[in-house]
Each structure stands twice: as C-alpha cells, then as structure tokens.
C-alpha cells in the first residue's frame, strides 16, 4: 500500500519585501522544496517558514529537521552543482541554493 507522507508546514506572518517578484518566488520554491525533499525520510516531518529581525534587517528563513549536512562543507552549499548528498540519497541538480545565493542582498 502506498502511504502518502504528511508534512506539517507552518508559515508565519511574513512581512513584505522588495525585489524581483519572479526571482523571490523561485527562492521560496527552492527553499521549501529542499526542506520537503530533505525531510522526506523523517517521521512526521515539520517545516517552518518565518523571519527574524537582526539589527535593522529582516532575515527570512526556512527550518526543517531534515537530513542536514556536515558543516565542514558548508562553503560548498551555495555553489552551483555542488551537492552534499549523493544522487542515490536525494535527487537534484545542485543549483537550487546557488540561485538563492544569487538573489541575496550584497
């Protein structure tokens, strides 16, 4: 029997932001998609999207309790085609977070 995975996804009351609408939409799709993908092997996966104030900046986040990664390789995380998990573990191209980095405010 094929059981569907049930995710609990919590989205806070997010403040408005300025930027290219299509790019920002793609950022959210990439971040939420990764959270779902890397949480898929967990029981009762929970994902949270929200924001925090840091100094005078609004910092948006997506949090999950997914597969995680070794912090020793965190410098590769936002580089194109750099994967921290094998293709056998999780499918993907390794460009999603590189796109997120591209739209990061410098």
Confidence band for 101, pLDDT divided at 50, 70 and 90: low
What is the enclosing helix (H) or strand (E) of 61? strand 57-64
Q: What pLDDT digit, counting tens, does each position of 40-87 carry?
A: 778 888 999 999 999 988 988 988 887 666 667 666 666 654 555 555
Residues 6+ apart with CB under 8 A from 5: 40, 45
Hey, which CATH number is domain 8-102, 3.40.50.300, 3.30.565.10, 2.60.40.1120, 1.10.645.10?
Answer: 3.30.565.10
Q: CA–CA separation, 49 vs 12, rounded Å?
A: 6
Enumerate the domain spans of the chain: 8-102
Confidence band for 6, pLDDT divided at 50, 70 and 90: confident
Confidence band for 29, pLDDT divided at 50, 70 and 90: confident
pLDDT for res 34: 83
pTM attached to this predicted model: 0.67
Nearest alpha carbon to residue 101 among 75, 65, 73:
75
């Amino acid at each position: 029997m094929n059981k569907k995975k049930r995710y609990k996804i919590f989205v806070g009351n997010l403040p408005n932001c300025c930027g290219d609408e299509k790019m920002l939409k793609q950022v959210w799709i990439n971040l939420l998609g990764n959270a779902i993908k890397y949480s898929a092997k967990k029981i009762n996966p929970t994902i949270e999207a929200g924001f925090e104030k840091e100094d005078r900046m609004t910092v948006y986040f997506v949090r999950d309790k997914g597969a995680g990664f070794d912090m020793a390789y965190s410098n590769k995380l936002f580089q194109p085609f750099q994967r921290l998990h094998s293709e056998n573990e999780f499918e993907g191209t390794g460009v999603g977070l590189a796109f997120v980095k591209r739209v990061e405010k410098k």
